[in-house]
């Protein structure tokens, strides 16, 4: 992109703000100008890095107001979900690094405690902020050196059940804390459910809007004592006319709102009043617009949620061109074909219809596609109920989000042996989103469950067959995993053919050592084999396809014909390789001196970078696979520079 396309921004007031303390001397008029400059700087930075744009633009004024009124880092501002935090990072000493967002050794795209004392609580997943704020609040009550806790919960995060568990607890405790409900009528996709409709009713009725100063509860702070009771009664009357009381007040919170989340003339006096007067838990209902202030984001259906690098003037994104389809698209198209043949097939996702490809499914089968909101636990048990009713549910959830529904997978699906099909997207390391979104653990936590069938696609053609396999499997739960991004560019089958459960495939015959690959590391394994072949040491390569049940006949064959076996997978310890090791141990193979190694993700959380960089850090690229083979065979090689 040229400098003329994305010109250098002029930000005289923002230039004076290195930390939030520098905002304390600014007038309200200057704070309004600061917000405008902060929005411009956020757009400029994300145009160069890519990332979550719309959510941050929607909270610019909230960010300015909160930092101008409260005293971070003593006061704990908790962003939920964390991708709203880009403007916050700019105001908290990280402006000079904001153009390293989501890059190797750069700033995280989420709040991260190790990055800054102003990031009070790390958040890559949603609906956690109120629980954390209650924790900070009670820490303060028990003597911790901390101030107020302010949870900023938005972008659909309020649909997560954990938020209401926390509000119930906070209301019971009755201690001073603040929840800012950033109500932009969005999550990643447009919102779903009764809660969204309820919030709409809270501000759609005329009487509340006409007398908003009374309805939002601010009047009491500015009226003489003699008028307080009258103001209270007027507020209750107006709320009764509009909605008959509020859910939040029933949970023990003082409800304040709705307030225009982009109007600093409303936000600043309201927050100052509440900071001075509040005694118990307060919920501030702020109305915002995702992508606010950047037309190219505002006009998108997702409010400019996530974007590649882009041209500021036109909004045109810069994306690498690939000839291979994405795994997500292959899954969606395969599921659509299966659904055309079987009317019992239904699809379920948790606020990620676009990310999982189910938006394509919904266009053709709207009655058979369900977006349950940011509610993974419900998504799993809802799918279990569908299966128990005789339907064939495909529950499509990112690996890292599926962790949130694990109890439901165990209790509601596995124990009852219900045929829920888990489509596990974003398996393995995912690049710029980093550790919070890495699909590192699903192989282990799914394969440990009795009766669960667990597959991993080595390429996009295999994924087509695994969708067909899941559709045909009706005797219990089944899962298949696949990574983010484009496929390998292999030839694609016209239709999927169900695989034999628990059977792998031989890829290449060789000698001395065998490599048993599980998932898309197969491509790197084959690169390593080429390098080893040049040394006269070409290994045998097999694709396991299944982590459970294991193809024990294939494993026995590899053990019988080789002196060593290496397993490799895109997951943490305790997964596929551990199951193979357990089997070999039970068979007494190690008693005979057989050599075995398992290449898994290291016992650490790997910071954001490109996926290739992350796998290199993990020790799982082709040169490192080659080195592992040579090491196992006792062949000395010079180390790479």
Task: Report how many domains make up the chain.
Answer: 3
Task: Please tell me whether 37 is known to bind a ligand.
Answer: no
Instruction: Check whether residue 387 and residue 439 sit in a common domain.
Output: yes
Instruction: Check whether residue 554 and residue 595 sit in a common domain.
Output: yes
Instruction: Check whether residue 340 and residue 302 sit in a common domain.
Output: no
Instruction: At 396, give phi and psi (nearest 5°).
Output: -100, 110
Calculate the alpha carbon distances from 93 to 15, 21, 115 in Å: 11, 11, 11
Instruction: Check whether residue 459 and residue 513 sit in a common domain.
Output: no
Instruction: Check whether residue 302 and residue 410 sit in a common domain.
Output: no
Q: Angle at the Cα of 274 (from 194 to 270), degrees rounded to 5?
A: 75
- Domain range for 356 is 327-481
Task: Please tell me whether 156 is known to bind a ligand.
Answer: yes
Looking at the domain assignment, is residue 317 inside a domain?
Answer: no
Instruction: Check whether residue 519 and residue 622 sit in a common domain.
Output: yes
pLDDT at position 190: 52
pLDDT at position 375: 87
In the chain (641 residues long), the average pLDDT of successive 10-residue segments reads 53 95 95 95 88 87 96 94 88 93 85 90 84 93 94 82 90 94 65 53 40 40 45 44 58 87 92 93 90 82 73 79 87 97 96 92 95 91 95 96 95 96 94 84 96 97 98 98 92 95 97 96 96 94 98 97 96 96 96 95 90 91 94 73 43
Task: Please tell me whether 169 is known to bind a ligand.
Answer: no
Instruction: Check whether residue 456 and residue 522 sit in a common domain.
Output: no
Instruction: Check whether residue 286 and residue 391 sit in a common domain.
Output: no
Instruction: Check whether residue 578 and residue 617 sit in a common domain.
Output: yes
For 145-204, how does the pLDDT look when each residue is reduced to its tens digit (9 = 90+)? 999 999 999 867 887 888 889 999 999 999 999 999 998 865 445 555 555 555 555 544
Instruction: Check whether residue 195 and residue 55 sit in a common domain.
Output: yes
Instruction: Check whether residue 331 and residue 301 sit in a common domain.
Output: no
Task: Please tell me whether 603 is known to bind a ligand.
Answer: no
Q: What is the CATH number of the domain that holds 95?
A: 3.40.50.970
396 forms bridges with which residues in the sheet?
A: 349, 423
Task: Please tell me whether 157 is known to bind a ligand.
Answer: yes
Q: What is the CATH number of the domain that holds 521?
A: 3.40.50.920
Looking at the domain assignment, is residue 621 inside a domain?
Answer: yes
Task: Please tell me whether 294 is known to bind a ligand.
Answer: yes
Task: Please tell me whether 407 is known to bind a ligand.
Answer: no
Looking at the domain assignment, is residue 111 inside a domain?
Answer: yes
pLDDT at position 367: 95
Using left for φ > 0, alpha for ψ between -120 and 50, and beta otherwise, residue 284 falls in beta
Task: Please tell me whether 6 is known to bind a ligand.
Answer: no
For the annotated catalytic residues, the residue numbers are 290, 376, 404
pLDDT at position 323: 75
Where does a domain end: 481, 496, 531?
481
pLDDT at position 438: 87
Instruction: Check whether residue 88 and residue 181 sit in a common domain.
Output: yes
pLDDT at position 102: 85
Residue 520, class by beta-carbon neighbours within 10 Å (0-12 exposed, 13-18 middle, 19+ buried)?
A: buried
Q: What is the largest CA-CA distance in the chain?
A: 94
Tell me the whole-structure pTM to 2 decimals.
0.81
598 forms bridges with which residues in the sheet?
A: 567
Looking at the domain assignment, is residue 313 inside a domain?
Answer: no
pLDDT at position 220: 46
pLDDT at position 155: 64
Q: ω before 258 within 30° of 0 (cis)? A: yes
């Amino acid at each position: 992109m040229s400098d003329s396309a994305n010109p250098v921004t002029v930000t005289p007031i923002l230039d004076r703000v290195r930390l939030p303390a520098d905002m304390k001397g600014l007038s309200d008029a200057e704070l309004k100008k600061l917000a405008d400059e902060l929005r411009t700087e956020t757009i400029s930075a994300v145009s160069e890095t890519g990332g979550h744009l719309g959510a941050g633009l929607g909270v610019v004024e909230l960010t300015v107001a909160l930092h101008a009124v409260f005293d971070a880092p003593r006061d704990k501002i908790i962003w939920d979900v964390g991708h709203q935090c880009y403007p916050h990072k700019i105001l908290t000493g990280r402006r000079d690094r904001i153009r390293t967002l989501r890059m190797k050794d750069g700033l995280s795209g989420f709040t991260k405690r190790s990055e800054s004392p102003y990031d009070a609580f790390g958040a890559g997943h949603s609906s956690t902020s109120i629980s954390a704020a209650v924790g900070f609040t009670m820490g303060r009550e028990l003597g911790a050196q901390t101030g107020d806790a302010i949870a900023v919960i938005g972008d659909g995060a309020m649909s997560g059940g954990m938020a209401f568990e926390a509000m119930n607890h906070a209301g019971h405790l009755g201690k001073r804390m603040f929840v800012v409900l950033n109500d932009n009528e969005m999550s990643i996709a447009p919102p779903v459910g009764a809660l969204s409709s309820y919030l709409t009713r809270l501000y759609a009725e005329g009487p509340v809007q006409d007398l908003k100063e009374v309805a939002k509860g601010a009047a009491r702070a500015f009226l003489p004592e003699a008028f307080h009771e009258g103001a209270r009664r007027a507020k209750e009357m107006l709320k009764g006319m509009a909605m008959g009381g509020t859910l939040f007040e029933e949970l023990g919170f003082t409800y304040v709102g709705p307030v225009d989340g982009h109007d600093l003339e409303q936000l600043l006096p309201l927050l100052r009043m509440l900071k001075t007067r509040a005694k118990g838990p307060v919920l501030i209902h702020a109305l915002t617009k995702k992508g606010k202030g950047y037309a190219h984001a505002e006009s998108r259906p997702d409010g400019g949620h996530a974007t590649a690098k882009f041209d500021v003037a036109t909004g045109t994104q810069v994306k690498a061109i690939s000839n291979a389809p994405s795994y997500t698209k292959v899954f969606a198209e395969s599921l659509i074909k299966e659904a055309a043949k079987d009317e019992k097939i239904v699809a379920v996702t948790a606020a990620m219809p676009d990310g999982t490809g189910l938006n394509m499914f919904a266009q053709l089968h709207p009655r058979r596609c369900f977006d349950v909101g940011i509610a993974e636990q419900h998504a799993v048990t809802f799918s279990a109920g569908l299966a128990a009713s005789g339907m064939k549910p495909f529950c499509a959830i990112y690996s890292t989000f599926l962790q949130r529904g694990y109890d439901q997978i165990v209790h509601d699906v596995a124990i009852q042996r219900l045929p829920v099909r888990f489509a596990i997207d974003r398996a393995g390391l995912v690049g710029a989103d980093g550790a919070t979104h890495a699909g590192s653990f699903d192989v282990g936590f799914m394969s440990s469950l009795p009766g669960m069938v667990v597959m991993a696609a080595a390429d996009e053609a295999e994924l087509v067959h695994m969708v067909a396999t899941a559709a045909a499997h009706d005797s219990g739960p089944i899962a298949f995993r696949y990574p983010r991004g484009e496929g390998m560019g292999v030839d694609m089958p016209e239709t999927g053919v169900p695989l034999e459960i628990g059977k792998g495939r031989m890829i290449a015959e060789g000698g001395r050592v065998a490599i048993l690959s599980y998932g898309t590391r197969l491509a790197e394994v084959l690169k390593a084999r080429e390098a080893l072949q040049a040394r006269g040491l070409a290994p045998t390569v097999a694709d396991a396809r299944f982590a459970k049940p294991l193809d024990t006949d294939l494993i026995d064959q590899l053990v019988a014909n080789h002196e060593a076996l290496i397993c490799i997978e895109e997951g943490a310890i305790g997964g596929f390789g551990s199951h193979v090791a357990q089997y070999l141990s039970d068979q007494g193979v190690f008693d005979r001196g057989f050599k075995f190694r398992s290449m898994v993700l290291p016992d650490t959380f790997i910071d954001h970078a490109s996926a290739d960089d992350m796998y290199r850090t993990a020790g799982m690229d082709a040169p490192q696979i080659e080195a592992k083979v040579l090491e196992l065979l006792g062949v000395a090689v010079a180390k790479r520079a």
